[in-house]
Amino acid sequence: MRRGASLLVVTAVLLAGCSDPPESKLDRSSAVPGGSSYVALGDSYSAGPRLGPSTGPVGCEQTQGNYPHLLAARLDLELTDVTCGGATSEHLTEAQTPPNGEPVPPQLDALNSSTDLVTLGMGGNDGKVFSELVTTCVGMAVKDRAGAPCSADGAAFRTKVERQLGRLPTRMVAAIEAVQERAPEARIVVVGYPAVFPESGTCDLLPLARGDYPYARELVSRINDGLADAADQAGVAYVDVWAATDGHDICAADPWIAGLVPAQAGLEYHPYAREQAVVTDLLVDELR
């Protein structure tokens, strides 16, 4: 009888342990409660160029419509936004001089031991990979519309890209570790890039050579792979923006990325407001 009674007690304890805790304990948004200190680090895909009033230094193209501002408003966070167009991972620890602007401090200077949340969205500008894709490669396409001047085996751009992609995970692990050192109590989220280029086909808003389209798409996908790998190695979260935006590339019927001639507020080859809103939703889900 004592054994049976003991089993009943154990069963009751196990069932109690499996029951749902009070609602307050289920709400994981308390991990980043209202009033928390939030620092946004990143390049132009985080800065949100031309998406509202300017909120940063001249030349950084940082606006009120970017996902850091939207996230801070949604979760009532105290935002310090140091995102800046053209930023590379080097600008986490080195000053950056944006076009027509004055030097801005290293982005990591915004962090301290009281920082609660950090988003990190960069890597695509390292080695000027993305900027050359939409400038140099677009220029080369004028003379070779049907070819692949940037992505053919042995092409200078492809050689450079492969070298940069190989180094990206190591660089980003170092970047995340530097963030962790400056803000040891912060929750860190690495933010990936959207699906900028189409899965198939071409369009006038993206005047690359026909043969360079597949490589352009693969390039962004592999940058995201490098960011995800770095986040995993460093033990922090990664938000997959690609999956949520695929099908809304520059050439799509409903694009969330501006092409050569933006159809709405936005900078060419950069996100529209809809994409930044989607990133905000993804971050809210991650933080909860």
Give the active site residues: 44, 270
CB atoms inside a 10 Å sphere around CB 149: 22
- Residue whose pair of structure tokens reads 């692949």 in the numeric block: 148
Rounded Cα distance between 73 and 64, Å, is: 10
Tokens standing for residue 28? 């994981």
- Distance of CA 33 to CAs 23, 38, 72, 239, Å? 16, 11, 11, 20
Phi then psi dihedrals of residue 100, to 5 deg: 60, 15
- The contacts of residue 96 (CB under 8 Å, 6+ apart) are 84, 86, 87, 103, 104, 106, 107
Rounded Cα distance between 39 and 83, Å, is: 9
Report the candidate in 169, 174, 30 with the shortest Cα–Cα distance to residue 92: 174
Element (H, E) at 187: strand 187-191
Report the candidate in 237, 225, 243 with the shortest Cα–Cα distance to residue 168: 225
Rounded Cα distance between 23 and 25, Å, is: 5
Element (H, E) at 275: helix 273-287
